[in-house]
Structure formats: C-alpha cells, structure tokens
Structure 1
C-alpha cells in the first residue's frame, strides 16, 4: 500500500471565489415565524455568511489543521485521507476513530489531543493511544468512492486494510454518527482484529432480529422505537433526502456556500447541547472551518451519498447473530436518539455503559474530556 504525507493547500483563487459567492448571495424571502422553527434562522445565517466573507481567516484555520500529521493512502484503489497521530507514552494502543456527517476529521482534534497525550491533561501516559482518523470516502480530502456500494460495511473493509498496512494487527475502533456504523461493521466483519468498539451513537440503520415469542420487545424498547419514528417524522427530512435523492441536493448545495451553511449549521444547533444558542458550543470560526472543508473540496454531494448506500445495506442482524468484540456505549443526553441497553444487547456484548451528564451529537467537540475519559476506561481492560 502506497502512503504519502499530505498537507492542505487551498489556492488564493478558491478563497477569492468563495468570498465573491458569499457577497453575492441571493437571499430567499421568508414568511415571519419563530426563530429556527422552520429551519435555519435567516438573521443568524446572514450574520454567519457576512463573517465568512469578510472576517473568517481560512489561512489560520488551514495552519491549525496542518498541525495534525496527515497522509493519503491508496487502499485497494480507493484514496483515503487520514490523520495518524502517535501517542506520547510507553505503549500507545492503536485506535481508529471515524467521524460522521455533517462533521469531518476536524471535529476530532480536541479529542485526539486528550487521547494521544493524556499526560498533558493530567492523565496517565500509560493510557496513550496511537490514533488513526480517516476521512470517510467522499468527505474532505478522501475522494468519492469510485464505484457504487460504499456503505459502512465496505468502509470497514477499507479501514481494516489501512490499519494492517500501518502495522496494527489488532486495534480498537470508536465512532459516532456514520462513524458508529463503520465501527459496528468493523466489529462484525473483522472481529479477529478488533479488540472492542466504543460508540457514542447508535446507527439508525441498526436492526436486530426480534423474536416476538422468545424475546419480545421490552417496554423500554417499544418507547425507543416509537420515539425514533416520531423524531424521524419531525426532524429526519434531511436524512430522507440524503438517502433517496442525494444528487438533487448536491446540485444546490455545491453551488451555494450560503445554502451549504444553512443545511449544515442547523444540525449543529439542533443536535448539540446548546440550549438553542449555537455559539454556546461552537464559535463561528469552528463552524466555518468545517464548512470551508466541505466547500473547498466540493464534497457535499459525495458525503451524503453514504446515506444512500447505508439504506441499501443496513446494519441488519439475523436471529441469533452475535458480534463478538465487546462494546462500550456512551449515551449523551442531547443525542438524537437514546436506545436502551437491552436493544444493543440483542446483538452485542455490552461491557460498558455510561449515561453522560451533558453533551450532544458532536461529543468529540462538545465534551472531549468526558468522551476521552470514557474511551480510556473501556480500552484500559483491552490493552495487551
């Protein structure tokens, strides 16, 4: 496998083009309604777009991103961008962490600081990790999949090959959002190499077989499935669009940075533990670093393609099918779903379960200390 060092270098022309487009935004007329009730609030979006055009410093963000050691690998014909950060400690444990949508590898940086160099945060250097944080196919600097079918299952195969090429015969996996699906697929398909997985989200396509006679749904499971369906009806329009008409959406969002900002930023507000005030959790610069990665790489269409693929190849488990590597689950209170432990135990050996005191969907950004501590606690028992 060929691996090359990588550095982000966005051209001045691309930055100038973005600013021109932002300043030329053709704003939609809207019917008055309570702020955020019908989606991204217009006045807030105008303020963000103006900041993006005139104050946001991409070059500073680029320098910060490039402080992470980045590489490009050819994995079976698929080019994969990844951060590979070595741990500071006597025996760092290898861990592959996978981001989700609408995030990117940039959302993991605070978490990597704490996992790779725990002593810098007052923790035991013995608990350091070697972290590999790949960009999913079609996200940021990982090109779109060359062929259809790149669901969580196929991405798990890519990650297993990448970890072997980096010299890791055994490793752990962690993820939220789409990354949780990849981690589940890794444990299911590559259990001989994966010691265990840590999740902070349960993929919506996860579907264990339910035998109504021998193992009927519990009241807690019934409540969860009902709440999940109600959430999908009220809040899941984005996912339905991603998984049914991704190319229609891509044509609009790839041409309008203001539209892209509206589509993505609304999720950072709705899914985080911010009490409705997005900048309690995320600064404009943080939001715009992530948005700029989507814009400069033109990846919004290819990023949502994975929803289509996961719909066609869900994480479905047959009656009696078990996944052998142990699982840890960190349940954050403002996450978009809250499965009961029994729902995971239908398939997994749940070795650790943590109800977090605060935090939402973007746990690595919102609560990196809590998440890092939970990851360390789980993998402490699996280190060899």
Structure 2
C-alpha cells in the first residue's frame, strides 16, 4: 500500500461548468405534482426556481475558493484515493478530531463549524476547546476515488479512517459523525483498534430495544417509534433504491443535474426543522455547493453503493470506548438514552438540543459546536 500523503487543490475545469450551463438551459420537465405539498416529492415550481438561480446567479468558483482556503490532500487506501481536509488549530494543545459526513451530504456540511472548532478563541470560545480537524470524503463521494470492487462497507471504511489518522501522526484521536458518518464513527468505536479515545455521533443507530423496554415504553419512546414509522412508510424509498439498484439509479443522476439536485435537495426539506422549503433553513448557495460536489464528481451511483454495502444490515456492535450522543429533535432516528445505552456501553455524554435536524452542522452550527465541545470536554486522549 502506498501511504504517501499528496497535496490536492480543487480545480474544476471550465468545460465542466460550461457543460452544466448547457444542461440547465435544456431541461425537460416532468408534469407538475397534483398536490399542493411535498408529499409526492420536491415540487416542480420550487425546482424551477432553484434551477433558475443555479443557472443565472450561483458561482461555483466562490465555493471552490472557500474550500481551497484549507489544506486538501489525497492518500491511497487499498487502491482507492481518499480525499480529506486537514486543518490544524493554531492552539498548541489542540486535540485531533476526525469528522465524517454522510449522504446526501459532503465536506460542505462542516464549513460553518471549522472556524469555531479549530480556533475557538477567535470565535468567542476558549483555547481548551480547540481541535485539529481531519475531514475525509467517503469512498465514492466528493473528491475521493470510487471503489471498483465491492466490500467498501462501514467496517472497511472505519479501519481505513483509523489508518488515515495514524498515517497523519495521530496515535490518539476523537471521532465524530452524522448520517453514514455517525455509523462509521460508531464502528470505529466498536472496533476499538487502540487509537480512538472517544466518539460523538448525531445519528444514533442502535439495535432494537429489549422486550422489557418495549413493554414499558415512555411517551417519548412511543413518539420516537411513531416518527420512525412515518419515515419508513413515506420517506425511506430512496434508501431501498440505492440499496438494491444503485447502478440503474446512477444513469439518471449522471445525466441530469436537475435530477441529481432534486434527489439531494428533497432531503434538506424533509430532515430539517419544520420548513416548507430547504432554503428556509439553509442558505440556497450552500445547498447548491453540496449538490455540485456530487454533480461535478459524477458521484450519484458511486455514493449510492454504500447503501448496497451496509444499509440492509447495519453494524450495531457494542461500543465500549467513551461515547457521546446528541439527539437533535428533527432527526430521523431519535432513540431514548436507555435504548442508546444498550449499544453505547460507556456513555459519557447525552445531549438533546432544542433545535435542528439531520444536517445539524449546517443547519444549527452553533448548537452543533456546543454539543461536540460538551461531549469531548470530559474525555482524555
């Protein structure tokens, strides 16, 4: 294995942006939905509004410049180039923190929390809360390479991330994540290869509650089960498509930027604080930044394959390293603390912020930073 760390700069060729412009000028639209809400998917009028903004006002070079202000690198893991940002804190006693995104997210999700986490003093915080950040792109996502063989599931990614941290010289580190990133982070804790000192997740995936717990459900647990049942009935179709037929889905996502945008942006409406449209909770250009990470890298099919690898029977092995969980109120899965403790058996921190949903680092960055700090403040490397 080549363990070299190579510098990387994001530099999308103009031809790719010109191609996007042509495609956005020649969209074939579907019929409008026969309902006045999002129950059948992202509405036609809303998509047309976003596409017009995308074509006439959005500036990818602005995003590229914002990303390139931080160091980017590539390193090979089992034949796949892994892209990551490595942002060292100015504080000499900062602690290493690995943070992993999920689907349909990317490194863009973390843009508003990088400053407070790496340089807290400059953002009204204290030096003791400083972290050296390592932000990788999942295999098949963003600027990482695309696996050409099967097997890149949660367990392999977790081991690769541990190797990445030690390759960077971090013999001890913390790990954090949401969505797939939360699941990878949980597996890092479960594998406990001797380097991870603690984990924090804001998507808390656990096994089914015990029979004893199911026989004595609290009102909050009953509400959690009802909320998840609605998701399974009305909102989980995307995951089954990506789990069963990622390749077939990929043709549409590779060919149509509008299709890729709609496939992604719908989730920023459904998985956030109560909102009628995603750009009520998120900056529209930041949403398009995230879409562009998928579109420009042709990552529709390659990102979906992680569902094929790990969604059917996700790893819920016990986590014995020091752990913290934050349950944002509009998350898809909101297990109770006693449910979580069945898996996270060394639970040091439990947070229930008042606002936010699935994309917490992007939706409520200040609360997200508070949760991360609150979790790791009580842990030692």
Same fold (TM over 0.5): yes
> What residue is the counterpart of 2:154 in the other structure?
152
Tell me the distance in 2 between the aligned counterparts of 1:230 and 1:282.
24
Tell me the distance in 2 between the aligned counterparts of 1:217 and 1:142.
46
Tell me the distance in 2 between the aligned counterparts of 1:315 and 1:344.
14
- The answer as to whether partners of 1:208 and 1:347 remain within 8 angstroms in 2 is no
Q: CA deviation at 1:331?
A: 0.9
> What residue is the counterpart of 1:241 in the other structure?
241
> What residue is the counterpart of 2:277 in the other structure?
277
Tell me the distance in 2 between the aligned counterparts of 1:166 and 1:217.
48
- Equivalent pairs counted in the alignment come to 376
> What residue is the counterpart of 2:217 in the other structure?
219
Q: CA deviation at 1:31?
A: 4.2
Match of 2:324 among 314, 322, 328: 328
Question: How big is each residue's C-alpha offset from its partner over 1:173-207, in whole Å with a ceiling of 9 and x where there is no partner?
Answer: 1000000000000000125211111111123xx42
Secondary structure of 1:71's match? strand
Secondary structure of 2:311's match? helix
Match of 1:338 among 302, 310, 334: 334
- The answer as to whether partners of 1:88 and 1:125 remain within 8 angstroms in 2 is no
Match of 1:362 among 333, 342, 359: 359
> What residue is the counterpart of 2:176 in the other structure?
174
Work out whether 1:133 is the aligned partner of 2:129.
no
Q: CA deviation at 1:165?
A: 0.4
Match of 2:25 among 23, 29, 33: 23
Give matches, 1:188-203, under 5 Å. Answer: 188-203=190-205
Tell me the distance in 1 between the aligned counterparts of 2:259 and 2:313.
29
Secondary structure of 2:111's match? helix
Q: Relative to structure 2, which stretch is displaced further, 227-236 or 166-175?
A: 227-236
Tell me the distance in 2 between the aligned counterparts of 1:43 and 1:32.
12
Q: CA deviation at 1:275?
A: 2.3
Question: How big is each residue's C-alpha offset from its partner over 1:1-32, in whole Å with a ceiling of 9 and x where there is no partner?
Answer: 11111111111111000010011000011243
Work out whether 1:352 is the aligned partner of 2:354.
no
Q: CA deviation at 1:381?
A: 2.0
Give matches, 1:292-331, under 5 Å. Answer: 292-317=292-317, 322-331=318-327
Mark the CA change 1:371 to 1:152 in structure 2 (over 3 Å): closer, same or farther.
Answer: same
Secondary structure of 1:249's match? helix
> What residue is the counterpart of 2:71 in the other structure?
69
- The answer as to whether partners of 1:191 and 1:325 remain within 8 angstroms in 2 is no
- The answer as to whether partners of 2:97 and 2:133 remain within 8 angstroms in 1 is yes
Q: CA deviation at 1:278?
A: 2.0
Tell me the distance in 2 between the aligned counterparts of 1:326 and 1:229.
30
Q: CA deviation at 1:209?
A: 7.8
Mark the CA change 1:84 to 1:31 in structure 2 (over 3 Å): closer, same or farther.
Answer: closer
> What residue is the counterpart of 2:372 in the other structure?
375
- Structure 2 residue runs of 5 or longer lacking an equivalent are none
Tell me the distance in 2 between the aligned counterparts of 1:273 and 1:226.
17
TM-score (norm 2): 0.94
Tell me the distance in 1 between the aligned counterparts of 2:102 and 2:29.
29
Secondary structure of 2:287's match? helix
Question: How big is each residue's C-alpha offset from its partner over 1:44-85, in whole Å with a ceiling of 9 and x where there is no partner?
Answer: 100111111122111111111111211001123221000000
Mark the CA change 1:28 to 1:353 in structure 2 (over 3 Å): closer, same or farther.
Answer: same
Work out whether 1:94 is the aligned partner of 2:91.
no
Tell me the distance in 2 between the aligned counterparts of 1:326 and 1:133.
21
Q: Relative to structure 2, which stretch is displaced further, 281-290 or 224-233?
A: 224-233
Secondary structure of 2:320's match? strand
Mark the CA change 1:31 to 1:373 in structure 2 (over 3 Å): closer, same or farther.
Answer: closer
Work out whether 1:164 is the aligned partner of 2:161.
no
Tell me the distance in 2 between the aligned counterparts of 1:72 and 1:242.
27
- The answer as to whether partners of 1:110 and 1:368 remain within 8 angstroms in 2 is yes
Mark the CA change 1:43 to 1:9 in structure 2 (over 3 Å): closer, same or farther.
Answer: same
Calculate the aligned-residue CA RMSD, in Å.
1.7
TM-score (norm 1): 0.93
- Structure 1 residue runs of 5 or longer lacking an equivalent are none
